[in-house]
A = this chain, B = another copy of it.
């Protein structure tokens, strides 16, 4: 946004009036003909153009069109069958990093369902940094997860890694997950959008909020009925936690954009003992839910055992989150 001043306007006063409304102004730009423009900087709150137009000294206000009109019109909720993400109660998504066997996923799903977890997550296809690491049990695991979820009245969310797998995953899952490594894999986003299922869109390790929203725009433009954003930590310079959880971005999506966003504190921190405080913080910042890695025998997990909570710990977390959640904590879709 750029504010152009009237000739003879009191520049300092206009800047003050903008500051009063929460708007940062950059260095004034002056044209040869004497006109003065004030650029509105990042970190400014949203203010209606009509309100600004009334400020004495402002001649005109120029704005740019949004690059993601569909996302702007998306709204704070996503419906998944009878479940709605983004309503008052936070959504709890839990399950193992990798689905390892039919028995494993049934045991875990059964335990989680009793704790109030309504979404079952689990990896059938795993994106692994090394070509020699376990790559997931594959499409068989999709069926195991479906049955485990159905037996326990849960929804299934699982990641799609390859364009060729979209159809198969769409057949078994309720929500298709885009992993952080594939957030800017536009061929995959288009293919997933065409499956016309709700999508869970993880943020890439180095994506700006704008790039994340544009990835969501790809999904909606290709046919996805709704997108749940998922913050899982970005790349930082400090190895003391595995990733850098960006709850400022979560607050921005929830409160300024009015979008449904959940948080994955398991990947964000990697430290089992910090998952609960960060899950609480996520909900306080405006998250519509949390996604937790769970395993009933972390010592045997094929991936990410050290960050997996036991089902009993998820139960405590669920109770704690329910208690900690003040009535006013959710933005209720207000932007």
| Contact indicator A184/B181 (Cβ below 8 Å) | yes
Contacting residues, chain B, for A209 (C-beta < 8 A): 238, 240
Query: Is A83 among interface residues, defined by CB-CB distance under 8 A?
Result: no
Given A43-B269, A65-B27, answer yes or no on A252-B274 (Cβ-Cβ < 8 Å).
yes
Given A31-B62, A217-B130, A270-B24, answer yes or no on A206-B237 (Cβ-Cβ < 8 Å).
yes
Residue of B nearest to A53 (CB): B32
Query: Is A255 among interface residues, defined by CB-CB distance under 8 A?
Result: yes
- What CA separation (Å) do A331 and B62 show in the bound complex? 40
| Contact indicator A23/B306 (Cβ below 8 Å) | yes
Given A24-B270, A186-B127, A252-B241, answer yes or no on A17-B214 (Cβ-Cβ < 8 Å).
no
Contacting residues, chain B, for A210 (C-beta < 8 A): 240
| Contact indicator B246/A273 (Cβ below 8 Å) | no
Query: Is A74 among interface residues, defined by CB-CB distance under 8 A?
Result: no
Cβ contact of A256, chosen from B164, B236, B273, cutoff 8 A: B273
| Contact indicator A284/B274 (Cβ below 8 Å) | no
Query: Is A333 among interface residues, defined by CB-CB distance under 8 A?
Result: no
The proximity string for A residues 232-271 relative to B, scoring 1 for CB distances below 8 Å and 0 otherwise, is 0111111111111111110110111000000000001111
Contacting residues, chain B, for A155 (C-beta < 8 A): none
Query: Is A56 among interface residues, defined by CB-CB distance under 8 A?
Result: no
Cβ contact of A16, chosen from B60, B299, B324, cutoff 8 A: B299
| Contact indicator A37/B2 (Cβ below 8 Å) | yes
The proximity string for A residues 268-281 relative to B, scoring 1 for CB distances below 8 Å and 0 otherwise, is 11111110011011
Contacting residues, chain B, for A31 (C-beta < 8 A): 4, 60-62
Contacting residues, chain B, for A256 (C-beta < 8 A): 271, 273-274
Query: Is A150 among interface residues, defined by CB-CB distance under 8 A?
Result: no
- What CA separation (Å) do A61 and B187 show in the bound complex? 40
Query: Is A75 among interface residues, defined by CB-CB distance under 8 A?
Result: no
Query: Is A285 among interface residues, defined by CB-CB distance under 8 A?
Result: yes
Query: Is A329 among interface residues, defined by CB-CB distance under 8 A?
Result: yes
Cβ contact of A239, chosen from B27, B33, B64, B239, cutoff 8 A: B239
Contacting residues, chain B, for A283 (C-beta < 8 A): 284
The smallest beta-carbon distance between A50 and chain B, in angstroms, is: 9
Given A130-B217, A210-B240, answer yes or no on A306-B24 (Cβ-Cβ < 8 Å).
yes
The proximity string for A residues 43-75 relative to B, scoring 1 for CB distances below 8 Å and 0 otherwise, is 111100100010000001111110100000000
Query: Is A1 among interface residues, defined by CB-CB distance under 8 A?
Result: yes
Contacting residues, chain B, for A208 (C-beta < 8 A): 237-240
The smallest beta-carbon distance between A179 and chain B, in angstroms, is: 9
- What CA separation (Å) do A46 and B287 show in the bound complex? 28
The listed residue with most B CB atoms (<10 A of its CB), out of A36, A61, A278, is A278
| Contact indicator A240/B235 (Cβ below 8 Å) | no
- 9 examples of A-B residue contacts, CB within 8 angstroms: A19-B306, A33-B60, A162-B163, A164-B187, A239-B239, A251-B278, A251-B281, A277-B284, A320-B326
